[in-house]
Structure 1
Amino acid sequence: MNLQTLIDRSQLKLDNVHPYIAERALEVVRKSYAEGIYVQITHGYRSIQEQDALYAQGRTTSGNIVTNARGGYSYHNFGLAVDFVVLDSNGAANWTVDSRWKRVGAIGESLSLEWGGNWSNFRDYPHLQYTFGLTTAQLRAGHRPPNTSGIINISPNTSGQIKLGSRGDKVKDVQQSLSNLGYSVGVFDGVFGDKTNEGVKQFQRDYGLVVDGIVGKQTLDAITKEEDKMKEKIEKLEKELSNLTTMIKQGASPEPSKWASEMWEELRINGYFDGKRPKGLITREESGQVINRLRKNLLNLIVNNQKELANQSETLESLEAKLKEIEKENS
């Protein structure tokens, strides 16, 4: 049984579920999988009509009684609950409550969710919920959990997750960050379309995350971590540029050595210097041209992608080594 399959199937059931519960429901799937227990989310938000039909089961319609809650009296009706099932290794649902079910319930509780298997009046083993301290009566009266505009028909921008169809500045920030890290996301327009979705999924593949195309906490943390690494490299590169500025100014020689000749040729090939190799002293103007070229190239690297930064760093290290040789020869 593949974890990604369990996540994908579970994700389909989490539309209109409060992001706090949805994120923890998927974490239950992940943590259970790590312990060799296969779990899949089977239900999330349930409409009043669907709840009434479920309540009728075993009462006025065929089947067993599975709920004591009428429509509007279940936290499912407000996106604050999910149901799960434990699967056997062949993918078949196993409804026999055993140690695996109890362990999944315990995992849910460790993530601050309430498990129905511990209820005294009606044990609902597949059920996990988080009420935010609200009763169903308060929810029916229009009260909602904090930081939401309403759980039912929740929009992508209020879900706490950035995913396909989301819009806004947060999407634009993700697009910019992924582009900086070398991933193609299309135009930075703040619209989470197919290209951005593919960029997110590729990033998730590269960093061993669940490939669901959703920028939740784990994906966002990973992006931030990689951006921090890139910033460190940029700072290092800027320091090298500063050192290079000093070394070029101090590396003047009446007769350019073979090292100086090779340095200027390499600068010319890489587009750092437009002029000819100086036949005498390196002038302030020529030094300025070199440094301005280097700084311009640095800005282009930051805008384009991180992968080029590594190559540029190697080039600068090579130049630095050669400049040290010049300094040594002139000392």
Structure 2
Amino acid sequence: MIKLTVKLKTLLDRSEKNMGSGIHPVVKESALEMVKQAYQEGIFVQISAGYRSMEEQAKLYGQGRLGYNYGGKNYSDLSKPKVTNAMPGQSYHNYGLAIDYFIVSDDGKNAIWTVDAKWRRAADIGKSLGFAWGGDWSSFKDYPHLDMTGGLTYSQLKAGTRPKLISKVASDDNVKNTPAKDTGNQTIKSIQRTLKSRYNAKIDVDGYYGPNTKKALIKGFQTELNKQYGAKINLDGIWGPQTKASSPNVREGAKGNITYILQATLYLEGRNPHGIDGIFGNGTEIAVKAFQRAKGISADGIAGENTFAKLFG
């Protein structure tokens, strides 16, 4: 019997339909690219959800809850178990900035929800394209979840602020190896240039956040700890117990190179401090709190050893 393999077009068509019309265009493009790249590795990924209206969120939140009302309508449904703790407006799906995915069988007929090597590889591909993965969360693991928030909080999104997302999907020109279009993130390029000039980092100024840039940030952090706090850390760019133990508490009002490194790393981890200038202002505090909440640590807006450990570890 000939073994049938699901076609890439089938996965793309299903995924595009499931994301809905309210999905952010960069999120949509990046999600479909994840499906394509995974398919090339023999991993069959399908997007199961994308944009979710407030009413749809209320319906999900009402599952397993008694007496839940939203917008004057009762959404309680005790016939089903609880599936989310996110009320309407408290999910990035409500703003078109999140997707869920799963793996399908080789013939494309069955969903596979086992979080195995293929599942994690799909998540890694997603992260390389700019997504944050729910499987990395500390307080609650949401393995199907990927999002791009631009560093915005739910309050900012509810107030009408929209993120400025930069696509990491290569253009056709780049695929053909022609220099017609530069897709690198300009802010990341600026960070990379600063790391090169300030710390003699051996990195490419390509506008993409990879392991070499992260190592350069840690090395810069170690350099400043030695210079400003008298630490005696080997400048190896590796996050270890000595570097963690030497981490200062950086809070609103702080100025200098460590604050710059904090802001740069927050931005690279998807939490925009709205200014990478070495001055810890309100935007940086909001970004720190958002990052802390996402990682399941105390959201006090102060970057100490636990926060730096989540950023660099």
TM-score (norm 2): 0.47
TM-score (norm 1): 0.44
